[in-house]
Amino acid sequence: MLENIISGFINLFAWNNFLFINIGLAVGIIFGALPGLSATMGVALFMPLTFGMDPITGILMLLGIYCGGTYGGSITAILINTPGTPASAATVLDGYTMAKNGHAGKALQMALIASTIAGVFSALILLFIAPQVASMALKFGPPEYFALAIFGLSIISSVCSDSVFKGIIMGILGMFISMIGMDPIGGMPRLTFDYDYLAAGINLIPALIGLFAISEILNKVRILDHKVEHTEDFMHEKVSLKEVVLHLKTILKSSAIGTFIGAIPGTGAAIASFLSYNEAKRVSKTPEKFGTGHLDGVAASEAGNNGVTGATLIPLLTLGVPGDTVTAILLGALMMQGLTPGPDLFKTHGIVVYTIMIGLIFVNIFMYLQASYFIKGFVRITKVPVNFLIPILIILCVTGAYAANNTLFDVKMILIFGALGYLMTRFDFPVTPMLLAIILGPMAEVSMRQSMILSEGSYAIFFTRPISLIFLILAVLSVIFSSITRSKRIA
């Protein structure tokens, strides 16, 4: 192993590797920041370009797009209350509030620092203990996935501590929306009202753009004669080393959560982000600050979603099982280069694999350097007058929604969800629980019904398997802790 690491380190240092890593990062950050586009789309579009490249160079460019896209979603989440990707939805809770309070630069810097540390952390886990983590991930079956989804849904009580009742209503509405389409087990259409386009269900991207971007645009329309009042002192405001150390515990814990979630196939960065945010709030001495522009919230969310990037490669490289949609595309890219993922990959192409894994560490380092340079340009978006900003945002939102499936139906969906999000926020109903339920609803339903089939209708299957029992206990504790915290604050 040590010999392969040394050889991989030497192989990595070629000008073309570093050049294409940075090209991939630039592309990824742009795709991640633009609402509706994503790292998945970026990797899919650029994968054919790697066909004639050296395998190491081509895969590293795609990993640059992956990592850059995951981080890039935080930019618009912080600046304009519009998560570029679902993975950055939790970042909105504190990041955008910080931007409104004139601290956009600090929020962007903390997001970058947390993303970089988490990315390096997960890359190191990939490099040194990938087989052990992969064997743990294999123990997850339908009951474990259901319990994990329930644990994720229990976060609603935490992110909506001001009005849990309204949060639960929005969560139920989100679950209802997630059930639209074909029955995943029976294969029959449901809640489609004989409308063919609904048979495929509601795509997450239009829902995300509508709930956050379009609803925010509608809110901004009411203040067209004002400027977005952010960032007067950005040039002199930076995250100090003391602040990084202060939030380092949160960053490392969230990185570990993201790495664990990422190693489980079929989960994803959005779940890791919300779980990390909830855990940071749970252990905080000042949980009431979360949602009001707290650096710890930004750090937790971004460390959680970026901790996934290296971890998703663990089941891919060791078992040949993609961890998420991006690694499913990377599976095709590896096979296109003659590299078949699985246990034999480390024997037949050990030096190439270790070069790629070491390269992932440098991908995150270059991401920090590249994004640090562009942050000053990013933050100036908040100085654009609203009447100029709104048309640009509308164009980006419509383009992003259409690009998701190349259909005008998704454009109609962002308008519907935008109107819904606008009305809900006007009556103080939080939209984050709805998005969380749309994300986790399909996982909860499918895994529960599969578990019922396996157990022949017995609910005991969820309590007799250790991992699922642990997640269910954590879900109950999460709700109890949120209730106690809320009662103390009211008192």
What tens digit of pLDDT does each residue of 318-332 get?
A: 877 776 778 878 888
Low-confidence ranges of the chain (pLDDT < 50): 226-235
User: What totals of helices (H) and strands (E) does the chain contain, helices first?
Assistant: 22, 2
Q: Phi, psi at residue 408, to the nearest 5°? A: -70, -15
pLDDT of residue 157: 67
3-class DSSP state for residue 189? strand
pLDDT of residue 161: 55
pLDDT of residue 232: 43
pLDDT of residue 222: 64
Taking each helix axis from N to C end, the angle separating 164-178 and 432-455, rounded to the nearest 10 degrees, works out to 60
Burial 349-379 (b: 16+ CB within 10 A, else e): bbbbbbbbbbbbbbbbebbbebbeeebeebb
Q: Match 């910080």 to its residue by tokens.
A: 98
pLDDT of residue 230: 45
pLDDT of residue 228: 45
Contact 439, 270 (CB under 8 A): yes
Q: Which amino acid is at 427?
A: F
pLDDT of residue 490: 56
**pTM (predicted TM-score):** 0.80
Q: Which two tokens stand for residue 412?
A: 């109609």
Count structural domains, the chain.
Answer: 1
Domain extent, residue 339, equals 2-490
pLDDT of residue 231: 41
Q: 189-190 and 181-182 as β-strands: parallel, antiparallel, unpaired?
A: antiparallel
pLDDT digits (tens, 9 = 90+) for 3-38: 777 887 888 888 888 999 999 999 888 888 877 667
